[in-house]
Structure 1
């Protein structure tokens, strides 16, 4: 069960079953996830990182999710009646997937083209963690933006597959947004949730499939259970019965907890290629950093630990860890959170959200980026996590399991979704731009930076805040200690002959990412340039990786190709090694096969422990330190394993000519993301 727990495991299983070895990721923005996943796939193809993507969403029906919605008094006692009676939602379950591919490849292989994905758009309400903006402002911005991206007007829309949950809040706010968008145009609007229920993370994907089939079959699905006497808006909600008619362009909406909005446009195949927009390639830079990790309360503390070869780990005092056989962890010390965020919002946050918000505040200050009405819609947020809010999930579930569904805590439930931290960040800093959440295990940080790059290159955002956060707590330890030889009772010893396993850590790192042009216009200090991404996976079993390191090495090669450099140009490597020899040896082989023995290699996990999705971000900090002239050593390394043939940094080194760095990351379940970072000149 521990192996199956991580949210990325279904994607690992799909990749293994289909023998996929390309880019693999998981979007988890609650009820907007399915739509966002299709949009992410579109961006991945546009970025040249894939030709074909299997994309969609899945969510099972569970007592625990039902208990949560019940605690919010959001469930309907009978069949839901979206856009009419609106007395609650019916929860559904299922999965829906698309094969999204470049049109020329589809034609070459003789595929039947069902529809074209024109574009998608994301926005943030910046209003409330669970309730939509009553005026529908965030939803309206997403819909307007997707039309703008596709160079269409509201009059081009043939049909709208609405979010249509059946709750009073949604059934009021979405029609208001549509009324402002359509400006008198009257396309049919319906809610397929009235028939299949609200499939949560899978809803947007299922509704995209419905929309595609509506285009193909020229059938407009109805809103069943519609009660005309409760109608509040003068729209054609396709009440109770199917309509027939040709459809050219369909707009589909998905809105979620945390104020996340996603809208996608689908079109009937025009039997000719659309002219793709050409964007001038921009140099992508980091202009601000915020960081807390281990016993470091600020980015300067993080740099000091790396620079001085000091440990970020402390003895565990928050709970009795004796039964788990461990003593140390990377535990974030007490922080005066009120200095960093709105006190009225602070009380609604859990640990992972507080950590992320602190790091975000630090990064904004470091970048001297002030959020105001003029720029709030042009600043995006991408949250990345490996663990997710385990502390909150455990606390919420424990109450339901031990005391019953009626005792479910309505205060805790909104923070059990993976994207809750992104919602809190948006509320704290008044950020209304695109927002998304990556939950891809140990590659999450670099994956999120890749996604931010897509936003910047397509001129969707001026800046993107990429923030990672991962917890340390007893539930995490209680689970992971069940895996034989995973946790070490000593300190982490990457690449050491006597390494015994991981020491867990917690941390949060935030980056302000923008184009070089944008940073120069703001007269911002540029800390580094991101020049290449390498994204691969293999089809190993869940929680395993290919022992040959072939796909891991391939991620390095792709990052170098993307950066237009060779292996000889890399001057510094931040490895993903953490002291678990069965995995460290695979990375060591992949690094040696490509870079040989002369490139200095460090391992930040020796300082901060296994920080899961945040690990890659800490590797980036070690690279920025290297650009400043200091190579951080691998700590606790006393006897290099005889199978490791690398230039391991065993003591702090001074170096003046570090121009290119490679950051390596991996996730259990065979996912590899690599980043080439360049010293900015």
Structure 2
């Protein structure tokens, strides 16, 4: 067997498939700011103030108490009116938030979502409260098999994704990606790969995180959050499809996801790893650092991680400097796996309200205490111009 020594070995970049641009054609959000992405951007713009949730607006925590720190909660919703009464009684809060956000995104989609569309849900571990309470009941009951079986589905990580598909008749790809802080980036990456491989033409990508005593005490005991940083919750959903498909169907493109990069770093290398991830994403997207007009950091309020993230952004963007931040975490608190979808929904709404500069791009970043790092590169719609005040 002969070997061609004149040809250099293939690199990882040579083997990587051509990038696929995902068009965001619908977006919706539920957050402590209120219902809809517009409510979220109003808080970010300072036109509406956001404070701690009133006691009467907090969900029922089943007799458990929250840790002593600020709290942000999604305002009370009439779930029976929004989702119907059938099958609602045994659904947990995570699944209900996800269902409402997804219903809103599908309702605002400028077209008909076919039954072949799929769902990709980003999460940490599903509903921590449901798993914890169900496990506790198995210890408290006289016999473990006396635990109510109708509550078991809530303990399964893919409960929300399954309910979204069942209730909306979506028979395509159905996946739940457990990535913690990076769940939203990984979900979009999964969606892009599914589209690239011909497994789906249209996908609902979402993330939801509920406020609960179980997760709240987890954050409290870990010391990972600043003492004054609030616990939050929220859900966001986006309809994504190939840009060519959206344009062929005449659907307005709200944003374009050019890159979804992830990586890992050992202890002490998080800044370098995230900076390298950002550079790689910008290069593969053909986006210059100077074109990045806004950033959406994912570690605000996390002890130590927030400083590492800012250092990585400065290192990657270099002389271009750090652009203004679209930081939903300041408004909604710690939402963990729902943070990236909420950031993207807020960014989409910002562009919808004020327009986008030609070629304008944004960076959405995330990093976890386990060493995982990731980022999204997103562009505004190509046919969107900056809006000016007619006065």
TM-score if structure 1 supplies the norm length? 0.50
Contact 2:263/2:273 (<8 A) preserved: yes
Task: Tell me the CA shift for residue 547 of structure 1.
Answer: 5.7
Task: Tell me the CA shift for residue 441 of structure 1.
Answer: 0.4
Distance in 1 of aligned mates of 2:152 and 2:270:
42
Contact 1:560/1:676 (<8 A) preserved: yes
- Pick from 292, 317, 321: which aligns with 2:30? 292
Contact 2:225/2:301 (<8 A) preserved: no
Distance in 1 of aligned mates of 2:315 and 2:14:
25
Distance in 2 of aligned mates of 1:620 and 1:523:
22
* 1:647-666 equivalences in 2 (<5 Å): 659-666=360-367
For 1:604, the equivalent position in structure 2 comes to 328
- Pick from 343, 351, 361: which aligns with 2:85? 343
Q: Quick one: structure 1 residues 408 and 598, their matched pair in 2 at CA, closer, same or farther if it must change by over 3 Å?
A: closer
For 2:339, the equivalent position in structure 1 comes to 615
- Pick from 354, 366, 371: which aligns with 1:670? 371
For 1:363, the equivalent position in structure 2 comes to 105
Task: Tell me the CA shift for residue 468 of structure 1.
Answer: 0.5
For 2:255, the equivalent position in structure 1 comes to 528
Q: Quick one: structure 1 residues 553 and 422, their matched pair in 2 at CA, closer, same or farther if it must change by over 3 Å?
A: same
- Pick from 242, 254, 273: which aligns with 1:551? 273
* 1:375-524 equivalences in 2 (<5 Å): 375-377=114-116, 379-403=117-141, 404-484=143-223, 486-488=225-227, 490=228, 502-524=229-251
Task: Tell me the CA shift for residue 549 of structure 1.
Answer: 0.6
Q: Quick one: structure 1 residues 604 and 397, their matched pair in 2 at CA, closer, same or farther if it must change by over 3 Å?
A: same
* 1:124-143 equivalences in 2 (<5 Å): none
For 1:324, the equivalent position in structure 2 comes to 67
For 1:197, the equivalent position in structure 2 comes to none
Contact 1:382/1:438 (<8 A) preserved: yes
Encode CA deviations 1:597-653: one digit per residue, 9 max, x unaligned: 3522342211111110111112213332443465xxxxxxxxxxxxxxxxxxxxxxx
Q: Quick one: structure 1 residues 282 and 576, their matched pair in 2 at CA, closer, same or farther if it must change by over 3 Å?
A: closer
Distance in 1 of aligned mates of 2:38 and 2:323:
26
Contact 1:330/1:609 (<8 A) preserved: yes
Encode CA deviations 1:505-557: one digit per residue, 9 max, x unaligned: 111100000012322333322100111222111123xxxxx365111111111
Q: Quick one: structure 1 residues 339 and 298, their matched pair in 2 at CA, closer, same or farther if it must change by over 3 Å?
A: farther
Structure 2, unaligned runs of 5 or more: 1-11, 383-391
Distance in 2 of aligned mates of 1:538 and 1:554:
11
**Secondary structure of 1:529 counterpart:** strand
Task: Tell me the CA shift for residue 657 of structure 1.
Answer: 5.9
Contact 1:442/1:668 (<8 A) preserved: no
For 1:594, the equivalent position in structure 2 comes to 316
Q: Quick one: structure 1 residues 466 and 313, their matched pair in 2 at CA, closer, same or farther if it must change by over 3 Å?
A: farther
**Secondary structure of 1:291 counterpart:** strand
Q: Quick one: structure 1 residues 281 and 443, their matched pair in 2 at CA, closer, same or farther if it must change by over 3 Å?
A: closer
**Secondary structure of 2:150 counterpart:** coil
1:315 matched to 2:315? no
Distance in 2 of aligned mates of 1:609 and 1:658:
31
Distance in 1 of aligned mates of 2:270 and 2:132:
37
Contact 1:283/1:529 (<8 A) preserved: yes
**Secondary structure of 2:199 counterpart:** coil
Contact 1:535/1:558 (<8 A) preserved: no
Task: Tell me the CA shift for residue 50 of structure 1.
Answer: 11
Distance in 2 of aligned mates of 1:526 and 1:438:
25
Distance in 1 of aligned mates of 2:66 and 2:49:
24
Q: Quick one: structure 1 residues 430 and 413, their matched pair in 2 at CA, closer, same or farther if it must change by over 3 Å?
A: same
Task: Tell me the CA shift for residue 437 of structure 1.
Answer: 0.3
**Secondary structure of 1:468 counterpart:** strand
Structure 1, unaligned runs of 5 or more: 1-47, 52-101, 103-278, 491-501, 541-545, 631-653
Task: Tell me the CA shift for residue 665 of structure 1.
Answer: 1.2
Contact 1:313/1:331 (<8 A) preserved: no
**Secondary structure of 1:459 counterpart:** coil
**Secondary structure of 1:411 counterpart:** helix
Distance in 2 of aligned mates of 1:332 and 1:307:
19
Distance in 2 of aligned mates of 1:387 and 1:679:
32
Contact 1:285/1:530 (<8 A) preserved: yes
Whose radius of gyration is greater, 1 or 2? 1
Distance in 2 of aligned mates of 1:509 and 1:485:
24
Task: Tell me the CA shift for residue 593 of structure 1.
Answer: 1.3
1:306 matched to 2:7? no
TM-score if structure 2 supplies the norm length? 0.85
Q: Quick one: structure 1 residues 299 and 569, their matched pair in 2 at CA, closer, same or farther if it must change by over 3 Å?
A: closer
Distance in 2 of aligned mates of 1:577 and 1:672:
11
Contact 2:20/2:258 (<8 A) preserved: no
Encode CA deviations 1:73-118: one digit per residue, 9 max, x unaligned: xxxxxxxxxxxxxxxxxxxxxxxxxxxxx9xxxxxxxxxxxxxxxx
For 2:75, the equivalent position in structure 1 comes to 333
Q: Quick one: structure 1 residues 280 and 350, their matched pair in 2 at CA, closer, same or farther if it must change by over 3 Å?
A: same
Contact 2:313/2:322 (<8 A) preserved: no
Encode CA deviations 1:112-160: one digit per residue, 9 max, x unaligned: xxxxxxxxxxxxxxxxxxxxxxxxxxxxxxxxxxxxxxxxxxxxxxxxx
Contact 1:504/1:609 (<8 A) preserved: yes
Distance in 2 of aligned mates of 1:629 and 1:343:
35
* 1:236-275 equivalences in 2 (<5 Å): none
Distance in 2 of aligned mates of 1:376 and 1:592:
44
Distance in 2 of aligned mates of 1:340 and 1:348:
16
Q: Count matched residues.
A: 363
